[in-house]
């Protein structure tokens, strides 16, 4: 989409949100597969289904509610997107990142994401929570392709630090203080919606990836582009070991993601209040 049209779309959505709330969030939350219940920790002021926002792409993935929430969590003003968008749903990359850009226009300075991933590192078990330290984009798409709009971000954003080092350190500190296991991981994003072949899993692991998923990277790129400091958690929902693969069961994947909600909620409850002073 030409940049002027994209900016107009964002302004139209922003205007619709502002008609219901003037809240300026400090933090944006973007919640993925099986993690929607984390939104229950938010003291909600306004709840807006995506369908009520003009030109807002609507999530079709299972377990994604498709709602924008405005309120507070642990004393911090927040906008939360319960349900994310994926390129495999048929959306272009620039549509997938509309929530990220909207969050920035609303005033957010920080973005925390959650997603479900497959574990490529054999040390990872189902239910483990990891925090992303870097990523590999194997999706073949990028939300920044096309004319750049300087009102959204610069033409050549530097991806040397896609996930904020200060937030990463804070996450590890809080995990340690609560006795929670939290590994750093490199995420590789694939287009989907099919899961990978044994040969593909071997290749992705050889590239240096620890986990694999079908989201997160477009949003992380857009976040860097528009100036959001980003932290991303992921829950290992299945083990992607080429020589020990089992048939995928989506219901088990969602259940595994949901089982990690208490861990992520604990981490968020200790990290979020400290954003007030950062």
23-72 per-position pLDDT tens digit: 999 999 998 765 666 677 889 999 999 999 999 998 766 554 688 999 99
Alpha-carbon radius of gyration of the chain: 18
Instruction: Determine the pLDDT at residue 35.
Output: 60
Instruction: Determine the pLDDT at residue 183.
Output: 96
Residues in the chain: 278
Percent of the chain with pLDDT over 90: 78
Instruction: Determine the pLDDT at residue 77.
Output: 96
Ramachandran area for residue 103 (φ above 0: left; ψ -120 to 50: alpha; else beta): alpha
Residues 6+ apart with CB under 8 A from 187: 117, 132, 134, 135, 136, 209, 210, 211, 212, 213, 216, 217, 232, 234
Q: What is the mean pLDDT of residues 184-192?
A: 98
Instruction: Determine the pLDDT at residue 249.
Output: 87
54 half-sphere exposure, CB direction, 13 A CA radius: 13
Instruction: Determine the pLDDT at residue 120.
Output: 98
What is residue 75's DSSP assignment? T
Domains in the chain, CATH or no CATH each: 3-273 (3.40.50.1580)
Cα gap 36→61, rounded to integer Å = 12
Instruction: Determine the pLDDT at residue 37.
Output: 63
Q: Are 148 and 267 in contact (CB under 8 A)?
A: no
Instruction: Determine the pLDDT at residue 253.
Output: 87
Instruction: Determine the pLDDT at residue 207.
Output: 98
Q: What is the pTM of this model?
A: 0.94
220-276 per-position pLDDT tens digit: 999 999 999 999 999 999 999 999 998 888 888 888 888 888 899 899 989 999 998
Establish whether the linkage from the previous residue to 193 is cis, with ω within 30° of 0: yes
């Amino acid at each position: 989409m030409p940049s002027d049209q994209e900016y107009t779309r964002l302004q139209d959505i922003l205007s619709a949100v502002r008609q219901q709330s003037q809240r300026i969030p400090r933090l944006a939350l973007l919640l993925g597969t099986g993690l929607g219940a984390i939104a229950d920790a938010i003291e909600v002021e306004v709840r807006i289904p995506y369908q009520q926002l003009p030109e807002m792409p609507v999530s079709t993935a299972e377990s994604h509610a498709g709602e924008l929430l405005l309120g507070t969590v642990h004393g911090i003003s927040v906008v939360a997107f319960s349900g994310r968008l994926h390129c495999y749903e048929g959306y272009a990359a620039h549509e997938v990142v509309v929530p990220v850009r909207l969050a920035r226009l609303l005033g957010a300075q920080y973005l925390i994401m959650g997603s479900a991933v497959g574990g490529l590192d054999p040390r990872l078990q189902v239910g483990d929570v990891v925090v992303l330290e870097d990523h590999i984009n194997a999706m073949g798409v990028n939300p920044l392709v096309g004319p750049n709009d300087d009102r959204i971000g610069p033409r050549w954003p530097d991806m040397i630090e896609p996930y904020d080092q200060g937030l990463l350190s804070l996450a590890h500190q809080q995990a340690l203080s609560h006795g929670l296991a939290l590994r750093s991981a490199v995420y590789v994003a694939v287009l989907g919606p099919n899961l990978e072949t044994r040969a593909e899993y071997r290749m992705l692991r050889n590239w240096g990836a620890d986990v694999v998923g079908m989201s997160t990277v477009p949003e992380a790129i857009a976040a860097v582009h528009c100036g959001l400091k980003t932290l991303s958690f992921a829950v290992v929902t299945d083990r992607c070991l080429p020589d020990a693969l089992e048939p995928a069961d989506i219901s088990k994947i969602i259940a595994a993601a949901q089982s990690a909600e208490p861990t992520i909620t604990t981490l968020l409850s200790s990290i979020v209040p400290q954003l007030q002073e950062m």
